[in-house]
């Protein structure tokens, strides 16, 4: 508790003089193991500002990829080694937010965190001595008991961490300094790090979107709800639409993901935007505000894809070929014209019924979640809605969510919806701050000794709060 | 009448649900001899048809949790359920939606197997030196089960009465064994099988949530309220008399808590500006109270819901379903007479008819 924190870069944990009776290792490694990326790094002192703390956190793709030339790349190599993403196929160890395939996950972890030699490059992430490290690992809510048990067994028996805590990813967000986001009075900096009292975390990630009410850093399990629409489904839907209407992009998951990130937005006036993109209205002025062209990447010429305003005459010009005076580069490029695809695709987050899915959209999901909680909590939770996850970065998402939520909640409640400063690494940052509160951490961590004594069944029950 | 045939002891698990209905009494039927009954056999939407390594026995109890929310509402009363929602959803259409959703859930378009890359011997040697692998680790590593396999296993375990798993954490909420301990307060939106499970109602959760207790519990809440609830009224409400005679007794423990934290509450109160309007009855707020410490402890100690139970239910607000042109994405105004897909106009319809309309569903 009062002992000085060893910095992340120091080699081994000093044996602190005041160790609690249970031997929880001093150094803490926080790993937010998402389906798309892992967010990982050593926990650092909570007094440093968030930007500096986040420099300790690395984002590593959590996938094994086979590229067109039949080469296989793992984890961090994807950022550096892969240039040609055409027809890349993915193997992801995390399905639906849960670690399912440990064969692949072990390979990625081994390569990222357990390299044999310390190099300057992996210094930040290398776990030299797992037995002297506490691991905080996140999981998605409502995991299957079997998978939880597998996770515990792998962490404790394959790598043998000295201390280990498995907690729900969204709950860690409550440990971030969210008061500043909501404009509430700041907590005193000298006080011990404590979680936000009431927080409703909307986590819209790769595999799904979840709503988790968090009370003093703990989840209210009965009110956790999940919508099976995430970034993956949106990408696949866009891929399918584009493949039907324009080019066959069926095998280009990665490229379509980039297209989605570049062009998609959430409409605040769906009907109006739809009229604007109607093909008979295309040539009008106001259509130009919605319809765009996306130039597909050309790996041979080493060109990346990009978005530009729609040019209605481009097609005609290209038919004329060289006569039109277009440069050869423009003539050779492949262009996707994106109109209503831009907003009908992410609209699924708010109206899943558009593809026949019998699930409610995000604002409705928040209400369904609240409906099983005491009414006394509603106001506090609605006033503190924190949005994290990659989908929250879609332009218009925050406005739409706030408007829709405002419209369906009772008028007495204040509705405040905020996006975390870094929606990707917010849970990691919370975990890092949580780690500094040794007392609270000690309550959830199990040690290696305890695991060896009581076994994995006990560990799983312990994390479920049953022991 | 719904009939479910489960052919379980096959290497690939396949549950076939078939609906057998009597032909509606059209004029055509009535004119025939009334004794003669015509049956219509329909293949129902089903999510569980896929290959699994090994097989599991799934007791078909009518409503499978896996299908509760993914599958469009089908069943005996579908005409009633879908009355206002344009319920023209046939089982063929439902099957098509399910197939489409499964398609959208894929990681890669084709089924590919990507092997773990072989590491150089030097590194491999280094890894061996770590420790020997335990049997658990070996078992987990060789397991090639996908998420679908795991979820099927859990469904089977739940259907078999919550057994099969040594850790009935997730199963607790749906399984008939352990009913959840706290009463559902306003279970309007609670969808899926949880709503059907019997719950004990003897906890104080419901009691203290009545607005009648508003005046009594305000002190406790104020510590929390100052930070998190901008909408909470000034603490003057605490001084105001309870709007109605309290019909439900407040739990004794929470009274004790109140007494304990009284000082704390007083401190907070001094920080807020006092005006003479604080006791104005017109400004009194009748907001629900913050639940007591005890209720929150109960809520926090509840076990997690199962995977299916935590899926969000169908929308609360009645939205009219929107349909889109299957060609260009504009509003789907006309429907193809043979395949029931929608198009926006004759342009798109002609293209659809020429090239895409397979009329296969």
* Residue pLDDT, tens place only, A266-276: 999 898 888 88
Helices (H), chain B: 27-31, 65-68, 78-81, 91-104, 121-128, 135-142, 147-159, 214-228, 236-239, 252-260, 262-271, 293-300, 346-351
Instruction: Report the pLDDT value the prediction gives residue B360, as an integer from 0 to 100.
Output: 52
Instruction: Report the pLDDT value the prediction gives residue B162, as an integer from 0 to 100.
Output: 59
- In this prediction, residues A23-36 reach a mean pLDDT of 89
Q: Mean of the per-residue pLDDT values for chain B?
A: 61
Phi, psi of A85 (to 5 degrees): -95, 0
By the 10 Å C-beta count (0-12 exposed, 13-18 middle, 19+ buried), B269 is classed as middle
Pairing of strands A417-419, A446-447: unpaired
- In this prediction, residues A407-422 reach a mean pLDDT of 89
Instruction: Report the pLDDT value the prediction gives residue A423, as an integer from 0 to 100.
Output: 92
Most confident segment among A36-50, B20-34, B278-292 = A36-50
For A437, the token pair is: 């509160």
- In this prediction, residues B292-312 reach a mean pLDDT of 89
In a domain, B154, yes or no: no
Instruction: Report the pLDDT value the prediction gives residue A349, as an integer from 0 to 100.
Output: 93
Q: Are B98 and B25 in a shared domain?
A: yes
Instruction: Report the pLDDT value the prediction gives residue B178, as an integer from 0 to 100.
Output: 32
Q: Does A126 score more than 60 pLDDT?
A: yes
- Coil, strand or helix at A450: helix
| Contact of B290 with A376, CB cutoff 8 Å | yes
Give domain A1-63+96-176+423-467's CATH superfamily: ATPase, nucleotide binding domain (3.30.420.40)
Instruction: Please report residues of B whose CB lies closer than 8 A to that of A96.
Output: 147
Nearest CB among B170, B190, B296 relative to A371 is that of B190
Q: Are B255 and B284 in a shared domain?
A: yes
> Is A250 part of the contact surface with chain B (CB cutoff 8 Å)?
yes
Instruction: Report the pLDDT value the prediction gives residue A415, as an integer from 0 to 100.
Output: 92
Q: Does A398 score more than 90 pLDDT?
A: yes
CATH assignment, A185-228+359-419: 3.30.420.40
Å between A206 CA and nearest CA of chain B = 11
Lowest mean pLDDT of A18-32, A254-268, A336-350, B8-22, name the range.
Answer: B8-22
Band of residue A63 on the pLDDT scale cut at 50, 70, 90: very high
Q: Are B347 and B270 in a shared domain?
A: no
pLDDT digit string, tens, across residues B321-331: 888 998 888 99
pLDDT digit string, tens, across residues B75-104: 455 544 444 444 456 777 788 888 999 989
Q: Does B208 score more than 70 pLDDT?
A: no
Q: How many residues are recorded in chain B? A: 361
* DSSP of A174-195: GGS-THHHHTPPPPPTTSPP--
Q: Are B327 and B338 in a shared domain?
A: yes
Lowest mean pLDDT of A221-230, A324-333, B193-202, name the range.
Answer: B193-202
Q: Does A229 score more than 90 pLDDT?
A: yes
Instruction: Report the pLDDT value the prediction gives residue A80, as an integer from 0 to 100.
Output: 85
In a domain, B129, yes or no: no
Q: Are B256 and B303 in a shared domain?
A: no
Q: Given B68, B86, B104, which residue is the final one in a domain?
A: B104
Q: Are B166 and B309 in a shared domain?
A: yes
Instruction: Please report residues of A whose CB lies closer than 8 A to that of B90.
Output: none
Band of residue A82 on the pLDDT scale cut at 50, 70, 90: confident
Instruction: Please report residues of A whose CB lies closer than 8 A to that of B295.
Output: 374
Higher local confidence (pLDDT), B103 or B50: B103
User: Is A144 within 8 Å of B136 when comparing Cβ atoms?
Assistant: no
Residue with tokens 């304990």: B260
Residue of B nearest to A373 (CA): B185
Q: Does A14 score more than 80 pLDDT?
A: no
Reduced to 3 DSSP states, what percent helix, strand and coil does chain B have, rounded to the nearest 5? 40, 5, 55
Q: Are B299 and B350 in a shared domain?
A: no
- In this prediction, residues A23-37 reach a mean pLDDT of 90
> Is A351 part of the contact surface with chain B (CB cutoff 8 Å)?
yes
pLDDT digit string, tens, across residues B1-49: 444 444 434 444 445 556 665 555 444 444 444 455 667 666 565 555 4
Band of residue B174 on the pLDDT scale cut at 50, 70, 90: very low
* DSSP of A266-293: --SSHHHHHHHTSGGGTTSTGGGGT-EE
Residues 6+ apart with CB under 8 A from A182: A383, A384, A416, A418
Nearest CB among A98, A236, A359 relative to B314 is that of A359
Q: Are B197 and B310 in a shared domain?
A: yes
Å between A323 CA and nearest CA of chain B = 31
Q: Does B147 score more than 80 pLDDT?
A: yes
b vs e for A10-32, b when ≥16 Cβ sit within 10 Å of the residue's Cβ?
eeebeeeeeeeeeebbbbbbbbb
Query: For residue B58, which of B2, B102, B109, B5 has the smallest C-alpha distance?
Result: B5
pLDDT digit string, tens, across residues A238-255: 999 999 888 888 888 999
Residue of A nearest to B217 (CA): A376
Beta pairing partners, B40: B21
pLDDT digit string, tens, across residues A153-203: 999 998 889 999 999 999 999 988 888 888 877 766 666 778 888 999 999
User: Is B104 within 8 Å of A102 when comparing Cβ atoms?
Assistant: no
Instruction: Please report residues of B whose CB lies closer than 8 A to that of A213.
Output: none
User: Please, what is the Cα angle at A146 between A143 and A151, to 5 degrees?
Assistant: 80
Instruction: Report the pLDDT value the prediction gives residue A54, as an integer from 0 to 100.
Output: 86
Q: Does B164 score more than 90 pLDDT?
A: no
Q: Given B59, B79, B104, which residue is the final one in a domain?
A: B104
- In this prediction, residues A394-411 reach a mean pLDDT of 91
Q: Are B306 and B177 in a shared domain?
A: yes
Band of residue A61 on the pLDDT scale cut at 50, 70, 90: very high
Residue of B nearest to A274 (CA): B330
Q: Are B273 and B284 in a shared domain?
A: yes
For A303, the token pair is: 């060109």
Nearest CB among A102, A197, A357 relative to B140 is that of A102
CA distance to A420, B24, B37, per residue, from B27 (Å)? 64, 9, 14
Residue with tokens 């409409």: A267
Instruction: Report the pLDDT value the prediction gives residue B44, as an integer from 0 to 100.
Output: 62
Q: Does A207 score more than 90 pLDDT?
A: yes
Percent pLDDT > 90 in chain A is 44
Q: Are B305 and B195 in a shared domain?
A: yes
Most confident segment among A440-449, B35-44, B166-175 = A440-449
In a domain, B74, yes or no: yes
* DSSP of A92-136: -SEETTEE--HHHHHHHHHHHH--SS--TTTTTT--S-GGGEEEE
In a domain, B131, yes or no: no
Lowest mean pLDDT of A21-30, A358-367, B31-40, B210-219, name the range.
Answer: B210-219
Q: Does A92 score more than 80 pLDDT?
A: yes
Instruction: Please report residues of A whose CB lies closer than 8 A to that of B116.
Output: 64, 103-104, 107
In a domain, B212, yes or no: yes
Q: Mean of the per-residue pLDDT values for chain A?
A: 86
In a domain, B156, yes or no: no
- In this prediction, residues A273-298 reach a mean pLDDT of 80
Q: In what order do the strands lie in the sheet with B2-7?
A: B2-7, B14-22, B39-43
Q: How many domains does chain B have?
A: 4
Å between B25 CA and nearest CA of chain A = 30
Instruction: Report the pLDDT value the prediction gives residue B251, as an integer from 0 to 100.
Output: 39
Higher local confidence (pLDDT), A327 or B3: A327
Instruction: Report the pLDDT value the prediction gives residue A26, as an integer from 0 to 100.
Output: 86
Instruction: Report the pLDDT value the prediction gives residue A50, as an integer from 0 to 100.
Output: 81
Q: Are B212 and B299 in a shared domain?
A: no
Residue of B nearest to A275 (CA): B330
Instruction: Report the pLDDT value the prediction gives residue A416, as an integer from 0 to 100.
Output: 92
> Is A328 part of the contact surface with chain B (CB cutoff 8 Å)?
no
Band of residue B318 on the pLDDT scale cut at 50, 70, 90: confident
Structural domain boundaries, residue B334: 322-361
Reduced to 3 DSSP states, what percent helix, strand and coil does chain A have, rounded to the nearest 5? 40, 20, 40
Q: How many residues are recorded in chain A? A: 467
Q: Does B256 score more than 60 pLDDT?
A: no
Instruction: Report the pLDDT value the prediction gives residue A266, as an integer from 0 to 100.
Output: 93
Instruction: Report the pLDDT value the prediction gives residue A334, as an integer from 0 to 100.
Output: 86
Residue with tokens 């379903």: B321
> How many other C-beta atoms are found inside a 10 Å radius of the C-beta of residue A287?
19
Å between A239 CA and nearest CA of chain B = 9
**CA gap B357, B245 in Å, rounded:** 68
Pick from B63, B66, B104, B164 the residue to mutate for testing the A interface (most A CBs within 10 Å): B104
Inter-chain CB pairs, A–B, below 8 Å: 302
On the question of a common fold for A1-63+96-176+423-467 and A231-344, the answer reads no
Residues 6+ apart with CB under 8 A from A188: none
pLDDT digit string, tens, across residues A348-358: 999 998 888 88
Instruction: Report the pLDDT value the prediction gives residue B242, as an integer from 0 to 100.
Output: 37
Domain A231-344 has CATH 3.40.50.300: no
Q: Domain extents for chain A?
A: 1-63+96-176+423-467, 185-228+359-419, 231-344
Instruction: Report the pLDDT value the prediction gives residue B357, as an integer from 0 to 100.
Output: 78
Residue of B nearest to A404 (CA): B317
**CA gap B302, B305 in Å, rounded:** 9
By the 10 Å C-beta count (0-12 exposed, 13-18 middle, 19+ buried), A327 is classed as exposed
């Amino acid at each position: 508790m009062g002992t000085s924190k060893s910095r992340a870069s120091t080699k081994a944990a000093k044996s602190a003089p005041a160790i609690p009776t249970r031997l929880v290792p001093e150094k803490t490694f926080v790993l937010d193991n998402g389906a798309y990326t892992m967010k990982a790094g050593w926990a650092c002192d909570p007094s440093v500002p968030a930007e500096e703390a986040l420099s300790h956190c690395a984002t590593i793709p959590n996938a094994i990829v086979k590229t067109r030339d039949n080469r296989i790349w793992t984890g961090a190599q994807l950022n550096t080694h892969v240039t040609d993403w055409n027809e890349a196929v993915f193997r992801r160890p995390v399905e639906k937010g849960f670690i399912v395939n440990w064969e692949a996950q072990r390979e990625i972890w081994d390569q990222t965190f357990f390299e044999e030699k310390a190099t300057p490059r992996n210094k930040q992430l290398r776990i030299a001595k797992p037995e002297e490290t506490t691991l905080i690992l996140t999981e998605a809510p409502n995991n299957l008991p079997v998978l939880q048990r597998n996770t515990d067994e792998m962490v404790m028996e394959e790598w043998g961490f000295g201390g280990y805590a498995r907690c729900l990813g969204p709950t860690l967000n409550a440990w971030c300094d969210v008061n500043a986001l909501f404009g509430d009075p700041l907590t005193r900096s000298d006080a011990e790090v404590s979680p936000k009292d009431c927080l409703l975390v909307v986590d819209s990630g790769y595999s799904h979107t979840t709503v988790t009410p968090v009370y003093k850093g703990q989840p209210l399990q009965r009110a956790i709800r999940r919508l099976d629409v995430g970034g993956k489904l949106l990408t696949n839907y866009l891929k399918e639409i584009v493949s039907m209407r324009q080019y066959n992009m069926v095998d280009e998951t990665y490229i379509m993901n980039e297209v989605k990130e570049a062009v998609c937005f959430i409409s605040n006036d769906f009907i109006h935007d739809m009229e604007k993109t109607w093909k008979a209205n295309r040539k009008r002025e106001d259509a130009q505000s919605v319809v765009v062209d996306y130039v597909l990447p050309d790996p041979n010429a080493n060109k990346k894809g990009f978005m530009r305003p729609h040019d209605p005459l481009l097609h005609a010009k290209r038919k004329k070929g060289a006569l039109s005076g277009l440069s050869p580069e423009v003539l050779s490029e492949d262009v996707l014209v994106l109109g209503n695809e831009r907003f009908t695709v992410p609209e699924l987050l708010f109206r899943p019924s558009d593809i026949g899915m019998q699930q409610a959209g995000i604002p409705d999901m928040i209400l369904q979640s609240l409906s099983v909680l005491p009414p006394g909590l509603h106001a506090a939770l609605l006033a503190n809605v924190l949005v994290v996850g990659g989908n929250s970065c879609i332009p218009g998402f925050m406005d739409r969510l706030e408007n829709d939520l405002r419209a369906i909640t009772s008028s007495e409640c204040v509705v405040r919806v905020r996006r975390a400063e870094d929606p990707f690494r917010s849970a990691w940052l919370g975990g890092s701050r949580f780690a500094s509160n040794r007392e609270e951490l000690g309550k959830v961590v199990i040690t290696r000794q305890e695991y060896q004594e009581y076994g994995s069944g006990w560990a799983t029950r312990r994390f479920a709060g049953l022991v | 009448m719904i009939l479910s045939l489960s052919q379980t002891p096959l290497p690939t698990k396949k549950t076939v649900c078939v609906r057998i209905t009597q032909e509606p009494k059209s004029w055509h039927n009535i004119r025939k001899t009334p004794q003669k009954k015509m049956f219509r056999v329909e293949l129902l939407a089903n999510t569980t048809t896929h290959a699994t390594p090994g097989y599991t026995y799934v007791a078909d109890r009518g409503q499978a949790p896996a299908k509760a929310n993914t599958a469009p509402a089908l069943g005996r009363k579908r005409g009633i359920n879908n009355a206002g929602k344009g319920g023209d959803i046939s089982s063929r259409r439902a099957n098509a939606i399910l197939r489409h959703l499964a398609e959208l859930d894929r990681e890669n378009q084709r089924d590919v197997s990507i092997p773990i890359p072989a590491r150089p011997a030097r590194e491999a040697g280094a890894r061996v030196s770590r420790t020997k692998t335990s049997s658990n680790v070996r078992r987990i590593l060789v397991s090639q089960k996908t998420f679908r396999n795991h979820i099927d296993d859990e469904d089977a375990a739940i259907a078999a009465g919550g057994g099969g798993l040594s850790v009935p954490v997730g199963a607790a909420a749906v399984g008939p064994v352990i009913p959840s301990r706290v009463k559902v307060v306003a279970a309007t939106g609670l969808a899926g099988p949880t709503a059907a499970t019997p719950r004990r109602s003897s906890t104080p959760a419901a009691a203290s949530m009545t607005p009648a207790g508003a005046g009594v519990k305000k002190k406790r809440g104020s510590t929390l309220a100052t930070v998190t609830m901008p909408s909470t009224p000034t603490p003057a409400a605490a001084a105001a008399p309870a709007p109605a005679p309290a019909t439900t007794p407040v739990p004794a423990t929470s009274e004790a808590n109140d007494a304990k934290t009284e000082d704390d509450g007083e401190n907070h109160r001094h920080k807020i500006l006092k005006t003479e309007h604080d006791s104005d009855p017109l400004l009194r707020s009748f907001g629900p109270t913050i639940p007591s410490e005890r209720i929150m402890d109960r809520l926090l100690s509840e076990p997690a819901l199962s995977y299916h139970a935590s899926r969000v239910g169908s929308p609360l607000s009645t939205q009219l379903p929107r349909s889109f042109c299957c060609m260009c994405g504009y509003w789907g105004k006309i429907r193809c007479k043979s395949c029931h897909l929608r198009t926006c106009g004759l342009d798109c319809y002609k293209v659809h008819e020429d090239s895409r309309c397979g009329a296969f569903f």
